[in-house]
Amino acid sequence: MTPSGAAVDAHRWPLTRRALLVFGAIALCAGCYGFSGGGGLPRNLKTVAIQPFDNQTAAPELQREIFDQLRTVLRDRLNLREAPEARADLVVRGTIVTYDVDLPLGATADARNTASNRRRLQLVIDIEIIESATSRVLLARKGLSREGQYAEGGEASGRKNALESIMADIVEGVQSQW
């Protein structure tokens, strides 16, 4: 009821007035929510030093690819800046244990008698991420293994898929500490 005694029918409000109320409520709620930065890490963890991984495989390019992927993922998904080990909040080290390629996955043939072979590769690493100030181990994974599938002759795409999966596991493992 209004002061004059007439009932207010909410359905008679002009559409623009209702829309403004809805958008105002959404804006008000959105102002209460925010990101603290750091990808879910404590505010004191801002920098990282990534040591080149020991490579126990016959593929020398893996060391560089893993290093580059780690730099990108830790910067973009965890909001960490690179720093020298002496000044870094976190230190990443690891070993590339296994890299097996050309493992048969299967073959297919179509009606035109053309065959295509699918292959897979397996990548296994050990990784350790340590908080420098406390020597606390944030992540320690031995034998972190992922496979990548690829068409015959497309090893690079299979390796990329395996690396992306490993990087997602690393980020998830670090974030799970908080």
pLDDT at 36: 42
pLDDT at 65: 96
User: Which pairing describes strands 136-151 and 115-131: parallel, antiparallel, or unpaired?
Assistant: antiparallel
Please indicate, yes or no, if residue 10 is contained in any of the structural domains: no
**In one letter, which amino acid is 83?**
A
pLDDT at 103: 74
Please indicate, yes or no, if residue 109 is contained in any of the structural domains: yes
- The whole-model pTM stands at 0.70
Residue range(s) defining the domain that contains residue 120: 38-175
pLDDT averages per 10-residue partition of the chain, 178 residues: 55 62 60 47 94 96 96 96 97 97 65 67 96 95 94 88 96 88
Query: What distance in Å separates the CA atoms of residue 101 and residue 122, rounded to the nearest whole number?
Result: 7
143: domain CATH number?
Answer: 3.40.50.10610
